[in-house]
Structures are given as structure tokens and as C-alpha cells.
Structure 1
């Protein structure tokens, strides 16, 4: 072999060896990460954590509702917290009609539900604000109802109308404040009775709904005007409230302190939330999760009158940074689920001149995004791919297309699964690993499967070439392997409901991301080839002595 040919061979060997070393998993340049997903054994915690409060019922023009929801979806939000006020739905007893506009009072809320579905978001609906005819007295729309059964009727009507479309309902708001309890002194036992009626009536209509307790205002006060939220929650437990909610809803404003400020009963800050959690645990209710109703920091300008800064103030840069740090911190708490920002966008009825509340906004009324919007949008990228470990059907790495229903079931992992019998309905699961498994729900049927947009090697296929997975038989609750020994990286699993026989349903309980032991041998072989080729290439330039 001539010296020139040997140089070319060594140079090619060097390129091949370096390529193998660079692109294949190797313990130095391209190691396979060993990070595992945080185990989330509590129900309703393996969810997209990002949500916000909205005021869509106050928006008149449909295009503005659409743009609001489009921007929310683009920011990575998964949840829309929205009021369905009783006094707007049933202004007169038994009458669901608005004479002013000559339309059903349901129309506005039907549109909201449809638009939220259109943009792939999920609703958390707040139920309160009784109409004048249902109040015991007074003009205050927060006044407790005169007859709890009438409130139960309203709850049942809403749940029945949106059965299968809305799953999460919050009952009342901040009952530990007199102004949210019609001016009366707050009463945890009285609120518990209202919660009990709402819970029982809602579950009677749809056993799969999830009831959230009213969030309690953060306060150090103990007076007829306000009760410290830790004391009020303890009073609720003493009155038997544990049996009448599935998720504890809470508020977690940061005020003028950073998220790292530690919890202290004498201080209002973000981590005060941990003290509320301690009350739950002390009362034997630690198996329930916590969601956040209102969360954030206020970024009023420095010229704003100090006596109006009820939530303190930080700069917009601090608002964005504190929010991101707090959410990352909260994701390490295995008992916390959704975190709703206060608030996304308002319709222009909160003045920036004399109301500090204006400066919580994520997006201005004219749709200008604030720095907080971009910070949340960037943060949302961290939740889009599931890491190795088990993930619930509600995981932020799961997207649904078409009609899927969530079913409560004690035998399922995290006490629930998702089901559909609609042909073409899809579940998309994005993960980062080397393999993936599906855990079926009880009595599930066959489902079409694609991995990274292609048929899955090793699975059976129908005459059209579509690969499928059998989720029925005795597979319920047991992992069914879709693929293993994939190249480590980002992958996309798609499950599609086929044309089913009558009575058949596809049920998915969870997913498992696998991380197989990496095989570094090809990369090490490439490194060896590169080293030998480099040495050989160098030797070709050494002249022989004559």
C-alpha cells in the first residue's frame, strides 16, 4: 500500500472514529443522563403546573376571548381558572334568560367552554356569587345563601350541563374574610355546611368531578373582619370538612419577599403555604394535594401611593424572576399541583391609576405581553418532555386531541384514568428516554400506536400497516411495553382510538419512561479507531533513513 493511500485510509478512519465518538452515547462527550422524574403518588399532582385566572365572562367580543386563550396556550399554560357566577346564570329563580340581550344566560358560558376546549386548555370553574333572590338579605353578592338547597340546585345544574367537559369545581372564595361572606363574621363551620351540600350535589350528578375547597386569604388578622387562614382551616377540619373536598385550594402571594423567604406564622410570604400543608397533615388529610388559586408578585410602579400597595411591590424583572424560582421550588413538593397566576389579562375594568391589582397582569388589556409572560413561556419548556419514571395520564407531557373523559377509580394509579371511545381521538406523550410503556386502565381495548410519527417495529400491524397495541385482557394496571433500546433523546408516542365495537373503550392509566443501561462500546470503539488512525496518519510523515 502506498504512503498516500495509507494517509487517506488513516484520515478516513480518523473521521469515522471521531463521528462515532461524538454522536453515539459515551461517558465523556455524550453521556446518557441518569435524572429520574420526581415520584408524584398523590392524585392531581402530575399535571401541567401552569394556569392563570381569567375574566372571559366580562369580555364581550369573541375575538378578544380567542386571542386571550391563544396567547395563554402559546405561553405554555394548561389551565383556565374562570368564574361561572350564579347571579349571571340564574338572575331570577328558575329563569335562565337575559331580557336585555334576549338570549339564554347559558350562551356566554357555553362559548367559554367551547373556546377553552378549542385551544387545548382545561377549566377550573369557581361557583359562587348568589343572585339577589337567593340571598338571605342585603345587596352584597357575596352574601351567604338563604337556602343551601338552592345553592345545591345551582351547582347541580352547572355540573349536569357540562358533564364530561368540565371536571374541576371550586366552591366559593376566601370565606375567611367578612367581605367575601356578605359582611358577616367568617364562620368555618357555616362554610363547611355550604361545601358539604355542593360536594354531595355535584357528585350525585357526576361522580368524576373534582371538588376544590375555597381558597383562604392570607392574613395575620383575627377579628370579625378576617380570620387567620391557618385557624380557619383548622376550624373547617373540626367541622368535618375533610369529607367534602378532593383538593385543597390555597392562595400564595409572595408580597414583597423573595420565594426563598422561609415560612413563619407571623409573616405573609409564598412559603406560608407550607404551614397550611402542615394543618392538613396534622388532621390526617395528607393524602390530598394542594392547588394554588392565586399566586404571584405585584409589580406596581415606584410612583404608586404606598398606602395602596396591599401586596407590597417588586420590579417587573423581580416579578418574573421570583415567579419562575417559586414554581421551580414548588415542583419539588410532591403534594402540589396546579399553580394559577393572578392574573392573565383583564378587560380594562381594573384601573392602573388607583388600583395596584392592575400590576399583577401577565398581558395588558391591549394584548401586550409583559416580561412575566416571556418568563413563564420559557419555563413551560421544562415540562414538555417526561423524564424516566412513571407519569400519570394528566402529566404535562400528555396532550389530548378529541373527546377524552377522566374517570375516578380507586384501583387506578393516582386514583384515576382517562378513556375514550371516539374513533380518531388521540393521546400524545412526549418523553426523553430509551423506551416507553403504557399502563392500561381496566377493561381497555386495542389502540393504534406510532412512535416518532412512524409504525413501531416489533408490534403487530393491520392490513393498512398501522401498528397496534392490545391493552385489554389481564393487562390492566400492568406496564405494556411499546418500545425499548431506542436512541436516548426526545421521542413522541401517539395512541389513536380505532373504530371500536359497541361498548368498547380505550382506557389509559399511566405511562412509564424507560432508561436502559447505555451501551458505550460502539463509542469507545470509535475513540480507539480515531486514536489508531491519528497515530497511523502521523507515522506516514516519518521519513525512513536511507
Structure 2
């Protein structure tokens, strides 16, 4: 009798054990025959798509998911088609919160790696495959961007070759196919058609083959406080004392290339040396924004614009990076290239052309200083989109990604100005009824610009890259005794000095809270003194024309950091 009971208990324990290890049923068919999947802890859309033999895009479209990187536990998804599910690898990736917001803190790695149990033991070395291909087995900590760099390919090309719908999602043990003939020592990456369109013709005798990016050792710098200053012809010691008084850790200085190399090959480093010395001596981190080609390098002398041969800019940037290696922390490549006044060239405004300039500058900088951070030129927020005078910054950013910007940058620059709209406001809700204009398009809103950029970045698998607001702020004519041009700057009359102070502090706070913003550079500290009270740049200054602090200065100094 006891032996029978013992057998029964053993059977019950075995049944219970089987039940415990069996996967929870998460898929069911509704009355119409459609498959419904309930999202489980640790799942992401890429895994779910693989399980049902479909694509991330198909599931996202069926369920009206605008951001495939953000789903939540318990969410019920309709699976397109009726193909039976396949086994799903386990994952340690945490699921996004139901609100769809990104938790403050360090953003996701550039391409999230799923910790899955591999079917084959991973090998640290590439494996040969039939047909001349090489098989790379994904290792812990790797992502598709780094793998592409290893084989001198672009992320987009490697993803397309392997049929990977979302380059942001690969897993440990996954076997990545490398095309025949591609090795880690031969540069074979060709410029894409999107990049080549609208770029200068290849010099006779030169090759169109692009070398892969050099070693990149730049840190992925998160949120911090910054301010733009104007040091030329000013008392640099006094200015940097003010920066220290504000409790600011980053300083941006604009470098007008045309001023420092008026003759080809004859660079006047002296004034730049003085500025770098002054900032570096204060202990602040340095961002240099370099734009505006000299006339000798351009095919037009109208307004500002790029050089005819982008290699001339790359040469200047390479020499600069070599000269200031270990001292200048970051370089912003150009300023508002989506505007004709900053990118005046017979070839016209072009995101693909800009990315080609960026590619050459990035390569030169990294060769001289691998730790330097390369930031894309902050775009001018604008809804104007005639393609001649301006390209809508959201449109331009998408075009930049189509041209491969993610492979040639460490951070995405932005100019999320707020005009007369409070930092938390959104288009188009008549946030301030007394404001007549400058509120009928998303480009007029600080937070919305950041959110739109983040959405575009995530849609392009670039969720691990920070947005650097290299220029932001709110202007006010209050207390300056000037009447700004009503057509272009009338909005500054609607913001008092006290409101300006409140908006700036809240702008910094938002950048810190949302979790995907890097150093924020307030525009500006001392332009009232440098340019004079009648110059529109004075409207944004923290100091008045005499160098006295305006309310915004005192608010930035006093705010919690």
C-alpha cells in the first residue's frame, strides 16, 4: 500500500514539474480566426514576430503601433496571418512601460542585444561558410553597428543582407552572414545612391570606395548643463568665471572656419588656441561648432555654405582634432544645414550631401582623436519646406538617416527653441492666448521637437544615441529698451524676463527627465556684450549689455543641478 502511495506521489510531482516548466499559453484565436498574443515579461516585438513567422513591421501596422520599441506586458496583439508560432528565444531585455515613455536614465544601447540561448556554442572568431560567405556568431555585448564596423560594412547593408527587419534587435548566438570577399581588413563599403546624389563629383583618378570609420572610442555622454559663449575680443577670464558661477559643466564656442583659414593652408590657430586654453583652464568640457567655408573653398560667395570639395573641410577638422586632442571634447559638424543661408551652394540644400561632408569630417576627427565626440549639426526647427530656402527639420532628419548618418556620428544635434511657448506646451492648443502667432506648427515647441526627433531616431534603429540640444532658449526684449523686428522676432515681446527665467529652468529640467537628452547648451551667456543691444542675439542673453545678470542668469545659477 505504501509503495503504491509513493508511486502516486512521484507521478504527481512529475506532473507538477512538467506544468511548471511548460510555457504559459499566450496565443489564442478569436472568433474571427485571428491570432491574439498577450505580451509576456521579457518579450519584444522582434521576438514575437519571429515566433509567428511574420515581421515587426507587419505586427506594428496591424496593431497601429507607432514605435515598435515600446510595447508592454499584458498588451494584446493581433498577429497578421494564421501561420503557426515557432519557438521563441528567452530574453532579459526589460519591457517598456505602458505609457510608451522612456524611463529617465541611460538610453538603450545603439542596437539592443537579446540574451538568448544559442543553438551553437558562440565562437569569438568568424566561421567560414559555403559559397565564400563568413558566419559571425553574435557575442554578449555586441550590436549590429559594431559588427558592421568590424567587416567594413554599413549597418543598413548588413541588416539587408541578413533579412533583419530591425537592426536594433539581434541576440547572442545569432548567426550573421557576411558577404563573400568582405574581410575585417579590406575596406569595400561603397557610398549608397542616397549619399552620392547631390554630392560633389569624385576627383579624377580618385576612387569612390569609402573606407570604414576609424576606431571610435568616444563616450556616450548623457545629460549635463551647457551654455554657448562668445569669447573672441572679450575678457575670457571674466566670461569663464561667470560660467563657473552658473555651475555649468559644458561650454560651446562657434568657430567660423572662414575667419581662421582665409588663405588655403594658412590657418591662424592663435585665437582658437586662446579660446581653448581659457575654457580648458576653467575645467569645463568643450564643444566647438565648426561651419562656414572660406570663399576660396566655395563655388559661391553668397551667404554661408559648404566647400566645393568636402575634403578641404575634413582636412581642417582633422588638423583641429589633432591639435586639441584630449582637450576639446566634442565637435559639432556645421550649423543648421537645412537652411539655405547656412548651406548656400549651387547644388542646393541636401541631407545626403551633408552626411557626405559629415562622413569625411568624422573620419578625419576619429583618425586624430578617437575619443572626440562628433555631433551632427543642429537643425533649424522649421515647417518651411520648399527645398530651396529650407527643408523641414523633421523631413531633413529622416533624409539624414536614409543617407547613413547613424554610422558617422556619436550624437544628434538639435535646436529645440521655444519661441514664446512654455517648455511643456504642444502644438497647437493656443497655449498663450495673448501670443499672436508662432504657435501653429510643431517646430515652434521645445518639447515637441525633442519628441519628434526621438521618434525618428527610434524608427531608424538609433535608440542608443543621445540628442544634444546644441542651442535652445527663449528670447525676451523685456528690460533691454529695444523694439525688435516685429516680423521675425515679434514673439520676444510676449515673454517677460521672469518668464524667460522660468522657461529656461524648466527646459533644463525636461531634458534631464526624459532620459534621451545629452548635454544641453543654452543660447546664450554674453552676446549682449559681444554683439550689442540692437543685435537680435542679445534678446537671448543671460547678461545685459553691461555684463550684469538678467533674471534668467540668477535662475540658472540657483536651480538644482
Q: Give the structure-2-normalised TM-score.
A: 0.56
User: How far apart are the structure 1 equivalents of 2:307 and 2:296?
Assistant: 9
Structure 2 partner of 1:377: 557
User: How far apart are the structure 1 equivalents of 2:526 and 2:491?
Assistant: 18
Structure 1 partner of 2:540: 360
Per-residue CA distance 1:110-137 (angstroms, 9 max, x = gap): 1111111221111101112211211123
User: How far apart are the structure 1 equivalents of 2:421 and 2:508?
Assistant: 15
Q: Residue 354 of structure 2: SS of its match in structure 1?
A: helix
User: How far apart are the structure 1 equivalents of 2:292 and 2:452?
Assistant: 29
* Aligned pair partner of 1:327 in 502, 508, 519: 508
Structure 2 partner of 1:187: 350
**Are 2:455 and 1:266 aligned?**
no
Structure with greater proportional strand content:
1
Structure 2 partner of 1:431: none
User: How far apart are the structure 2 equivalents of 1:210 and 1:118?
Assistant: 20
User: How far apart are the structure 2 equivalents of 1:197 and 1:311?
Assistant: 39
User: How far apart are the structure 1 equivalents of 2:490 and 2:382?
Assistant: 11
Offset at 1:41?
4.6
What are the residue-to-residue correspondences of 1:41-60 with 2, within 5 Å?
41=107, 44-47=220-223, 49-57=224-232, 59=233
**Are 2:294 and 1:131 aligned?**
yes
Per-residue CA distance 1:251-310 (angstroms, 9 max, x = gap): 011111111102669331111221111111111111100111111111113954522416
**Are 2:323 and 1:169 aligned?**
no
User: How far apart are the structure 2 equivalents of 1:115 and 1:186?
Assistant: 36
User: How far apart are the structure 2 equivalents of 1:305 and 1:138?
Assistant: 27
Q: Residue 419 of structure 2: SS of its match in structure 1?
A: coil
Aligned length: 330
User: How far apart are the structure 2 equivalents of 1:75 and 1:92?
Assistant: 39
Structure 2 partner of 1:298: 475
Cα 1:137–1:307 shift into 2, 3 Å? closer
What are the residue-to-residue correspondences of 1:242-261 with 2, within 5 Å?
242-261=406-425
Structure 2 partner of 1:217: 380
Structure 2 partner of 1:76: 247
Of structures 1 and 2, the larger Rg is shown by 1
Structure 2 partner of 1:116: 279
Offset at 1:40?
2.2
Deviates more, 1:85-94 or 1:162-171: 85-94
Structure 1 partner of 2:402: 238
* Aligned pair partner of 1:315 in 496, 521, 525: 496
- Tell me if structure 2 keeps the 8 A contact 1:45–1:335: no
Cα 1:305–1:128 shift into 2, 3 Å? closer
Cα 1:107–1:305 shift into 2, 3 Å? closer
Offset at 1:74?
0.6
Q: Indicate the RMSD between aligned Cα atoms, in angstroms.
A: 2.1
Gaps of 5+ in 2: 1-102, 109-218, 429-439
* Aligned pair partner of 1:92 in 263, 272, 286: 263
What are the residue-to-residue correspondences of 1:380-419 with 2, within 5 Å?
382-383=560-561
User: How far apart are the structure 2 equivalents of 1:258 and 1:137?
Assistant: 40
- Tell me if structure 2 keeps the 8 A contact 1:297–1:311: no
- Tell me if structure 1 keeps the 8 A contact 2:532–2:545: no
* Aligned pair partner of 2:463 in 286, 309, 313: 286
Structure 1 partner of 2:175: none
Cα 1:274–1:41 shift into 2, 3 Å? closer
User: How far apart are the structure 1 equivalents of 2:366 and 2:372?
Assistant: 7
Per-residue CA distance 1:192-211 (angstroms, 9 max, x = gap): 11011001111111211110
User: How far apart are the structure 2 equivalents of 1:52 and 1:150?
Assistant: 29
Offset at 1:87?
1.9
Highest relative contact order (Cα 8 Å, sep 6+), 1 or 2?
1
User: How far apart are the structure 2 equivalents of 1:231 and 1:196?
Assistant: 20
Cα 1:168–1:367 shift into 2, 3 Å? same
Q: Residue 336 of structure 1: SS of its match in structure 2?
A: coil
User: How far apart are the structure 2 equivalents of 1:232 and 1:357?
Assistant: 25
